[in-house]
Amino acid sequence: MCGRMALSLPQDAMAQLFNARPANDLPPVPDFNICPTDNVHIVTRADDGPRSLSAMRWGLVPQWYKKPDDGPLLINARAETVADKPAFRDAVRLRRGLVIASGFYEWTKDADGGRDPWYFTRTDGHPLAFAAIWQEWADVDQSRLRSCAIVTTAAKGSMTDIHHRAPVVIDPSDWALWLGEKGKGAAPLMRAAADGVLGWHRVGRAVNSNRASGPALIAPLGDAHAE
């Protein structure tokens, strides 16, 4: 799964890298502890228009919710069932995006039940582009909220020692296909990252608190690992 992430890339660098028009309400960066229900940076494309870089709530709100917390918090969508689940099936067909992150966290437990966090990044130093789906929701007063979920798949290789699920990482060569700029056929992209794409290292337990902040959260403890 993907339940916490970090982003340190400047706004203008993100807009340039993804060739996207930035909105005026983007969340501040850097942020080394992005949590569910926070706003994230997401690249989308509406119809035949240009790409946009905007803010969306992390935690997709289905159209039938009467309020944003009217049901489960949908921060992830499983690749295996995303095309069938009522909350996701229209979005994965019509509203796909790329959530940008510098890295993400997963946890293991020690012998005493303590939670040890691990920080994952691309081994080439480039930012991560997670496969995402999004939804616009409106309440009875027509107050609108745009929200998203990150698509996950089964982890593979040595990453399974940390967690059995992983976010779907879209390679730069596939960004256009995932965003719908190159027609249909994006389903095969919902797979685990290729060998060697992801690396990880253990970090301190300060990030176990959703109120923690600062670059020290991603400082390594011990050796780094790679897929």
pLDDT at residue 49, as a whole number:
86
pLDDT at residue 139, as a whole number:
79
pLDDT at residue 142, as a whole number:
66
> What would the pLDDT profile of 175-189 be if each residue is shown by its tens digit?
999 999 998 899 999
State percent of the chain over pLDDT 90: 84
Burial grade of 125 (CB within 10 A; 0-12, 13-18, 19 or more) = exposed
> What would the pLDDT profile of 141-177 be if each residue is shown by its tens digit?
767 899 999 999 999 988 999 999 999 999 999 999 9
Closest CA to 21 of 40, 49, 1: 49
> What would the pLDDT profile of 185-201 be if each residue is shown by its tens digit?
999 999 999 999 999 99
Q: Give the domain ranges of the chain.
A: 5-103+126-193
Sign of CA dihedral 125, 158, 207, 41: positive
> What would the pLDDT profile of 44-62 be if each residue is shown by its tens digit?
998 778 999 999 999 999 9
DSSP helix, strand, coil percent of the chain (3-state; round to 5) = 15, 40, 45
CATH 3.90.1680.10 for the 5-103+126-193 domain, yes or no: yes
pLDDT at residue 1, as a whole number:
66
3-state DSSP assignment of residue 92: helix
Per DSSP, 73 falls in state -
